[in-house]
Amino acid sequence: MSVLSDREIRDLIRETQMIQGGADERVFACSYEFRPGIIVSTGPDSDRSTKDWTGSTVANDLHTVQPGHLIWVRTLEKVAMPKNICAFWWQTNRLSRQGLMLVNMSMIEPGYRGPLACLFVNFGAKPVIIEPDTVVAKLVFERMGTDAQKPLDLKIDDLSYDRTLISTALNAPVTFLDVGNIEPRLDIKRQDAIAELQSTLERFKGELRDDAEAVRKDTKRSFESDSKSLILRVLGAAALGFVLVIAAMTFVPWLQSTVSPSLSTQIQQQVDDTLTQRLLGTGNMDTAREVTQLQQEVQKLEQQIRANSTSAGKLSRRGRNPFKIPIKRSELSCMSSDWRSVGRAYDSAAKYYDRWAWQTLWRENEKPLIEKALSADGVVPVGLDIGVGTGAYIKLLQRNCKRVIGIDISIGMLGTLLQKYPNTSCIYGQAEATPLRSGSCHKVLATRVLSHLVNLNIFFGETARVLAPGGALIVSDLDPEHEYQAINFPGQDPSSTRLVPHNHSLDDLQISAHAAGLTLERSWRLGFSELRWKPPRDDLLSLERSAGRHLFYVAVFRYT
């Protein structure tokens, strides 16, 4: 197949009406640039927020896409594909730099006739404005050697297409991953938890007041009852003493010195014993202990609620979360190949990962090339390590970047990283949908990440979005020539840590990078004979079987 030139595209527009409503001036750089015809915002109110530019438009007519929001755009022009030509739908650099990403890039089959539609998500921090003349996407046409054996025999009229598009938008969330509704739901749960805690505290306070009142009344009744008995005993003793005093008046000095003090001491001791038993007795000690336990339980509940409420908004250690809400694993998009399995595999291997034989191979052979690529531009403001793992290149990045951010889909790997480098800024997330601002990074490193991804276009599109103009992307991975069929991670149970990789050649990388506005600047491909360090034969047998082939590559792409 061969890509059509500008002249060939113009000839086909005039001769076959390949692009209905097309104009010669919209043919540019071997592609045709499409304008918006109908814009439909997603969500239950999408039928009331539709912008129709298929007829006449006014000069100041525009549509604003808020951060995190989704829109469907039906193109103004339609296509009528010949049977020997197919086309590919590409993102424009202008919109991607603003954070508006095309997420349904695909192929247009030979024989298709009808409108085209784009699904956009605003990943940026600011609103993006679309005008009637904005280029929303472009088609690159390729001529096949022969006509398609089974061309797509499908023709869709505008009315049916628009109805289907609006219906699709109605059933879609207003924001990407429905993040716009997560914060209200979280606030409702927080308020319910606080109300439940307040109710529990009020109930505990009431029970404590009732228990304290019961203890007070019981102590008062017991003291009053014992006081009456004590008073009677005192009066009886006093009467007996009076009789003795009258009977033995001559012995008053003796009675005053002996009997009276002894009786006074006995009465005082009895009073003290009674008060001690009632005020500090066993029953009161049990009640005091219960009160203390209840107070401790209340304090624990208060601490749990504070911990739950303060956890909202935390996504990363010293990282940024533009939506100010926690993002769970189950809410991340499934853009990579079964990313949950990949994350679980690295979780189970995190404890043993740094002692793995393959790590020695990368440290001795890959690291010198990565160091050469990172140091080429000197020290830059911000560096991003995609698939940071346990931090093999953190120190190297910190020497070449004033600030370093790491992102990974494995909680276990990030935990090991923070044990080694506690002050590292790290994010739990995917390579294809980072929460970073557009143009915020100057160097991006991704070592052995691409073999876990199916769609390179999304990865390079996201990388181009976060890179500043002139920034560099440095990638490395196993070469498809290497004879390996699965990745067996270290761990106690190897069967649970086995992953099937996706092989991508340097040519595959260049095609996707070029579409995103990245240019290959330099690359290295190393075979077994070129390794600086070779492992023992029994450690990595697959390397010896691939001795005559390339084992891995390192490539540097520049964003212009």
Does residue 289 lie within any of the structural domains? yes
Q: Is 366 helix (H, G, I), strand (E, B) or coil?
A: helix
Q: Provide the 8-state DSSP code for 34.
A: E
Report the relative pairing of strands 112-114 and 19-20 from DSSP bridges: unpaired
What does the pLDDT read at residue 295? 46
The verdict on 103 and 234 lying in the same domain is: no
Give the pLDDT of residue 215: 80
327-331, 339-343, 438-442 — most confident range: 438-442
- Residue 46 exposed, middle or buried by CB count within 10 Å (0-12, 13-18, 19+): buried
* pLDDT value at 278 more than 50: no
Q: How many angstroms separate the CA atoms of 206 and 541, rounded?
A: 73
Same domain, 134 and 207: no
Q: Kindly indicate the confidence band of residue 138, based on its pLDDT and cuts at 50, 70 and 90.
A: very high
Q: Are residues 347 and 431 in the same domain?
A: yes
pLDDT value of position 283: 40
* Residue 323, in any domain of the structure: no
Residue 554 resides in a domain: yes
Give one DSSP letter per residue of 408-458, joined into a string. ES-HHHHHHHHHH-TT-EEEE--TTS--PPTT-EEEEEEES-GGG-S-HHH
Confidence band (pLDDT; 50, 70, 90) for 280? Answer: very low
Let me know whether 122 and 213 are in one domain: no
**How much of the chain exceeds pLDDT 90, in percent?**
40
pLDDT band of residue 287 (cuts 50, 70, 90) is: very low
Model confidence pLDDT, tens digit, residues 30-82: 999 999 999 999 887 755 568 888 887 665 788 999 998 999 999 999 999 99
Residues 6+ apart with CB under 8 A from 280: none
pLDDT at 289: 52
User: Residue 16: its pLDDT value, please?
Assistant: 84
Return all residues near 69 (Cβ < 8 A) that are at least 6 apart: 41, 42, 121, 122, 174, 175, 176, 180
| Domain end call among 174, 194, 224 | 174
CA 190 – CA 184 distance, rounded (Å): 10
Q: State which residues form the domain around 400.
A: 337-559
Residue pair 46/69 in contact (Cβ under 8 Å)? The answer is no
Pairing type for strands 425-428 and 401-408 reads parallel
339: number of CA atoms within 13 Å, CB side? 24
Q: Choose among 42, 103, 102, 104: nearest CA to 70.
A: 42
**Which of 484, 473, 411, 413 minimizes the C-alpha distance to 446?**
473
How confident is the model at residue 530, as a pLDDT? Answer: 83
pLDDT at 177: 73
**Tokens 């609006």 -> residue:** 166
The enclosing domain of 523 has a CATH number of 3.40.50.150
Q: What angle do CA 30, 35, 37 make, to 5 degrees?
A: 145
> Residues 512, 513, 517, 518: what is their CA dihedral angle, to the nearest 10 degrees?
-170
Q: Is residue 318 part of a domain?
A: no
Please count the residues of the chain. 560
pLDDT at 434 over 80: yes
| Tens of pLDDT, residues 77-124 | 999 999 999 999 889 999 999 999 998 888 999 999 989 999 999 999
Q: 449 and 506: one domain? A: yes
- CA 431, 173, 455: angle at the middle one, nearest 5? 30
> Sorting pLDDT into bands at 50, 70 and 90, what band is 204?
confident
On whether both 381 and 489 belong to a single domain, the answer is yes
Which has more pLDDT, 249 or 293? 249
pLDDT at 388: 95
Q: How far apart are CA 183 and CA 490, in angstroms?
A: 39
Q: What is the pLDDT of residue 546?
A: 64
End of a domain among 124, 143, 174? Answer: 174
Confidence of residue 537 (pLDDT cuts 50, 70, 90): low
Amino acid at 177: L
- The single-letter DSSP state of residue 282 is H
Residue 312 confidence (pLDDT) above 60: no
**Residue 331 falls inside a structural domain:** no
327 inside domain: no
**Residues with Cβ < 8 Å from 97, sequence gap 6 or more?**
438, 439, 465
Residue at which a domain ends, from 129, 157, 174 = 174
Least confident of 113-127, 289-303, 433-447: 289-303
| Beta carbons within 10 angstroms of residue 420's beta carbon | 12
The predicted pLDDT at position 321 comes to: 34
Residue 154 has pLDDT above 60, yes or no: yes
Say yes or no: 167 and 218 in one domain.
no
- The Cα 347–Cα 126 span in angstroms is 35
pLDDT attached to residue 550: 87
Task: Please list the residues that pair with 400 across neighbouring strands.
Answer: none
Q: Phi first, then psi: what are they for 19, rounded to 5°?
A: -120, 105
Whether the per-residue pLDDT at 248 is higher than 90: the answer is no
Ranges of H-type helices in 59-178: 93-97, 158-170
Pairing relationship of beta strands 550-559 and 27-28 according to DSSP bridges: unpaired
Average pLDDT over residues 424-442: 93
Is 320 inside a domain boundary?
A: no
Same domain, residue pair 15 and 161: yes
Residues 426 and 547 in one domain: yes
Q: Which has the closest alpha carbon to 166: 281, 58, 38, 254?
A: 38
Q: CA neighbours within 13 Å on the CB side: how many for 206?
A: 6
CB-based contact 33:100 (threshold 8 Å): no
Is there a domain that residue 20 lies in?
A: yes
CATH number at residue 119: 2.70.40.10
- Answering whether pTM is above 0.85, one says no
Q: Per-residue pLDDT averaged across 246-254, rounded?
A: 56
Please tell me whether residues 203 and 228 are part of one structural domain: yes
Q: Residue 71: which of 98, 50, 91, 97 has the closest Cα?
A: 50
- Alpha carbons 86 and 148: distance in angstroms, whole number: 9
Tally of structural domains, the chain: 3
Opening angle at CA 403, ends 400 and 408, nearest 5? 100
Q: What is the mean pLDDT of the chain?
A: 79
Cα of first residue to Cα of last residue in the chain, in angstroms, is 28
pLDDT confidence of residue 549: 82
Same domain, 367 and 505: yes
279 and 375 assigned to the same domain = no
Can you give the three-state secondary structure of 198-259, one letter per residue?
A: HHHHHHHHHHHHHHHHHHHHHHHHHHHHHHHHHHHHHHHHHHHHHHHHHHCHHHHHHHHHHH
* The two structure tokens encoding residue 151: 């061309």
Identify the CA nearest to 137 among candidates 105, 90, 103. Answer: 90
Least confident of 130-144, 305-319, 424-438, 473-487: 305-319
Quick one: what percent of the chain has pLDDT higher than 70? 75
Please, which residues bridge with residue 523 across strands?
555
Predicted pLDDT at 129: 92
Other CB atoms within 10 Å distance of the CB of residue 311: 10
Q: What is the largest CA-CA distance in the chain?
A: 150
